[in-house]
Amino acid sequence: MSGAAVPVESPLRRFCAQFAESRLALVGLAMLVAVVLVALLAPVISPQNPYDLGKLDLMDARLPPGEPAAGGGMTYLLGTDGQGRDMLSAIFYGLRVSLYVGVASGVIALTLGAVLGVLAAYVGGRFEAVLMRIVDIQLGFPAILVALILLAVLGKGVDKIIIALVAVQWAYYARTARSAALVERNKEYIEAARGLKLSPVRIVLRHLLPNALPPLIVVGTVQVAHAIALEATLSFLGLGLPTTEPSLGLLIANGYEYLLSGKYWISVYPGVALLLTILSINLVGDQLRDVLNPRLAR
Amino acid sequence: MTVFILRRLMQTLLVLAATSLLVFFGLYVIGDPVEILVNPVADEVEKARARAALGLDKPIIEQYWVFLKGAVTGELGTSFVFGRPAMEVILERMPATLELAFLAMVMAVALGVPLGLYAGLRPNSWPAKTIMAASIVGFSLPTFWVGLLLILVFAVQLGWLPSTGRGPTQEVLGLQISILHWEGLKYALLPALNLALFKLSLIIRLTRAQVREQSLLDYIKFARAKGLPRHRVIGVHLLKNILIPLITVIGLELGSVIAFAVVTETIFAWPGMGKLVIDSIFQLDRPVVVAYLMMIVFMFILINLVVDLAYSALDPRVRLAEHR
């Protein structure tokens, strides 16, 4: 445009260009945007409000995909469940719950883990030793086990499952944040900030944290996908969410009893939605990791 | 080395104590198991009698004290539901879970390492790209949903394999094992495959990443420059170096397979420990839940310790006492 021989590449533009190198990642990004839009707009685009029990007609129960409603009006594109609920609407709303739980727990865990991890790297000493030992011990156990213990003790509920997922995830962020901060800590700009006699809080929050962010973002995408899958698994086991606002996992669990009689759609379609959600996040995360990984720097 | 192991043992005791406290008091707050266990028409007198029989009439602190005293001698309480020692109930189910986990891990390693090696050596070939794409899907598939699909396809539609329960067992070295005969193995195939898929993807990806990182290093270039045949460079030099992280992960994942069996066992009605603990959580059978978690936590600490020790034996650069 300007006609310059060598255009100055902004880091953001270089990042976008590298990200776009993988067509698979772009497909993932497009899918992710679609999934998020569907979740946000669920009340607008759903053919039916699946929570409004008055609108449900038991005559319509367990209809296969493509059947019209008994009372006329709408067609059940993905069939109906045991209570005559439109599966498409139930999936849209379920997606909302699943994404909300995954993202909320991810954001809380990221914040908690990042602050603790960066603080550990900055403060060092006993605080660092104890914190990292706790992280080591917790990461020695599989997430599902930790979540299982907590949910057995906490009971059901959206808030409870978010607590359990945060407890499961914070350690990953703490470890990543600490190792990133350890690298950054010794760089000159931190020394300069110290030389300016800035307060430690300011150095950690304004200088150290932003620079430790890229690896955290990579871990974050993977973790959100994990959290969504874990929530679905726990709900499927009957340990996660209450049945009043079913997430995708609970929808799949509800369809389980009909599976053996061949009524596949009640379980399979929510599963497809879950798969597409997790897959799109993983595709994006995978490419982010390649782009942001200095070891594979081109 | 000795200091390292001693310190680990101290930590183990701390973690076990913390877990038992959390679960013991947590389950106490959640509800009264007697309400679930006794006949619904039972009156208060009968409930009180049941409570007294299970030792639930005492204050919770005292109950925990009784539990602790038992735990020191290896007694982890009597199951409310089965009326037998909790540990006995769990150990009875253990072979079923272990054989499932073992079969799953064998499937994952036997397929994952060769596929990952190929994908790492020829990263731009189309089979490699297919393998990697499939592994992302395998990574993204929620285990329990894959289980449902496997049942739908192989049990409901094709009718090839049974979908629930465990086949006939035979006694091997005092353990009830079912996978040595086709009659029993066919019951184990679907759940084991279900359990293996996630680990398979993980092993493929890990192997590939390792191969890609290692094959850029100087010792590989040097081995090639020496004129060593390709199969020797890959089979001896490369494989030996990618094996270290692989063994760590395989060791750690064996434990997580046993933990994840909770899900697979529930779907396939496999009578293992995982299904037992889920049932016990719903029935508020505290002794079984506590005993299972104690045991599995202990198992994990043991696995982590063994992996750390194996690591230091395989890689002379790792010094245990220093970094802990």
- Structure-token pair, residue B175: 């353990």
Q: Are B161 and B186 in contact (CB under 8 A)?
A: yes
Coil vs helix vs strand at A298: coil
| pLDDT surpasses 90 at A251 | no
Closest by CA to B279, choosing from B295, B299, B298, B262, is B262
Contacts of A238 in chain B (CB under 8 A): 278, 282
Any B CB within 8 A of A134 CB: no
CB spacing of A233 vs B281 below 8 angstroms: no
C-alpha B235/C-alpha B223 separation (Å) is: 12
- Residue of A144, A236, A283 lying closest to B136 (CB–CB): A283
| Mean pLDDT along residues A126-132 | 85
Contacts of B304 in chain A (CB under 8 A): 140
In total, chain A counts a number of residues equal to: 298
Any B CB within 8 A of A152 CB: yes
Digit-coded pLDDT (tens) for A180-189: 888 887 888 8
Digit-coded pLDDT (tens) for B171-220: 777 677 777 677 777 778 888 888 888 888 888 988 888 888 887 788 87
- Structure-token pair, residue A202: 């300011």
Determine the pLDDT at residue A105. Answer: 92
Q: Which amino acid is residue B54, in one-letter code?
A: L
- Residue of A148, A238, A275 lying closest to B141 (CB–CB): A275
Determine the pLDDT at residue A8. Answer: 60
| pLDDT surpasses 60 at A295 | no
CA distances (Å), A137 to each of A179, A222, B275, in order?
A: 17, 21, 25
Any B CB within 8 A of A267 CB: yes
Q: What residues form DSSP beta bridges with B170? A: B177
Closest by CA to A256, choosing from B212, B163, B218, is B163
Determine how many CB atoms are found less than 10 A away from the CB of residue A47: 15
CB spacing of B152 vs A278 below 8 angstroms: no
What domains appear along chain A, each with residue ranges and CATH number? 19-51+74-296 (1.10.3720.10)
Shortest distance between the Cα of B171 and any Cα of chain A, in A, equals 30
Q: Are B132 and B208 in contact (CB under 8 A)?
A: yes
Determine the pLDDT at residue A104. Answer: 92
Digit-coded pLDDT (tens) for A195-245: 888 888 888 878 887 777 878 888 888 888 888 888 888 888 888 777 777
Residue among A98, A151, A153, A228 with most chain B CBs within 10 A, to mutate? A153
Determine the pLDDT at residue B324. Answer: 40
Shortest distance between the Cα of A227 and any Cα of chain B, in A, equals 11
Digit-coded pLDDT (tens) for B208-257: 888 888 877 888 788 888 888 878 888 777 888 888 778 777 877 887 78
Tell me what the pLDDT averaged over chain B comes to.
79
C-alpha B102/C-alpha B254 separation (Å) is: 8
At residue B137's C-alpha, the angle toward residues A238 and A111, to 5°, is: 65
CB spacing of A232 vs B255 below 8 angstroms: no
Determine the pLDDT at residue B186. Answer: 76
| pLDDT surpasses 90 at A108 | yes
- Residue of A142, A236, A268 lying closest to B256 (CB–CB): A142
Q: Which amino acid is residue A65, in one-letter code?
A: P
A283: closest chain B residue by CA: B136
Closest by CA to A85, choosing from A240, A243, A278, A275, is A243
Determine the pLDDT at residue A73. Answer: 64
Size of interface A-B (CB pairs under 8 A): 111
| N-terminal to C-terminal alpha carbon distance within chain B | 11
Q: What residues form DSSP beta bridges with B171? A: B176
B268: closest chain A residue by CA: A256
Closest by CA to B143, choosing from B104, B98, B93, B94, is B104
Closest by CA to B211, choosing from B310, B123, B105, B307, is B123
In total, chain B counts a number of residues equal to: 324
C-alpha A161/C-alpha A144 separation (Å) is: 12
Any B CB within 8 A of A282 CB: yes
Coil vs helix vs strand at B158: coil
User: Residues of B196-233 as b/e, b for ≥16 C-beta within 10 angstroms?
Assistant: bbbbbbbbbbbbbbbbbebbeeeebeebeeeeeeeeeb
Would you write out chain B's pLDDT as a tens digit for each of its 324 residues? 677 778 878 888 888 888 788 777 777 776 677 766 666 677 777 777 777 777 777 777 777 777 777 777 777 777 777 778 888 888 888 888 888 888 999 899 889 888 988 888 887 888 888 888 888 788 778 888 888 888 888 877 777 777 777 777 677 776 777 776 777 777 788 888 888 888 888 889 888 888 888 877 888 788 888 888 878 888 777 888 888 778 777 877 887 788 778 888 888 888 888 888 888 888 878 888 888 888 888 888 887 788 777 767 766 666 554 444
Determine the pLDDT at residue B323. Answer: 44
| pLDDT surpasses 60 at A296 | no
C-alpha A182/C-alpha B161 separation (Å) is: 53
- Residue of A260, A274, A282 lying closest to B136 (CB–CB): A282
Digit-coded pLDDT (tens) for A54-72: 666 666 666 667 666 666 6
Report the percent of chain B where pLDDT is more than 70: 90
Higher-pLDDT residue of A92, B67:
A92
CB spacing of B259 vs A237 below 8 angstroms: no
C-alpha A96/C-alpha A73 separation (Å) is: 25
DSSP codes, A23-86: HHHHHHHHHHHHHHHHHHHHHHH-SS-TT-GGG--GGGTTPPTTEEPTTSS-EETT-B-TT--B
| N-terminal to C-terminal alpha carbon distance within chain A | 26
C-alpha B19/C-alpha B27 separation (Å) is: 12
Higher-pLDDT residue of A59, A270:
A270
The pTM for the full model equals 0.79
Higher-pLDDT residue of A156, A231:
A231
CB spacing of A236 vs B19 below 8 angstroms: no
CA distances (Å), A84 to each of A39, A89, B320, in order?
A: 22, 12, 61
Task: Judge if ipTM > 0.95.
Answer: no
Determine the pLDDT at residue A1. Answer: 44
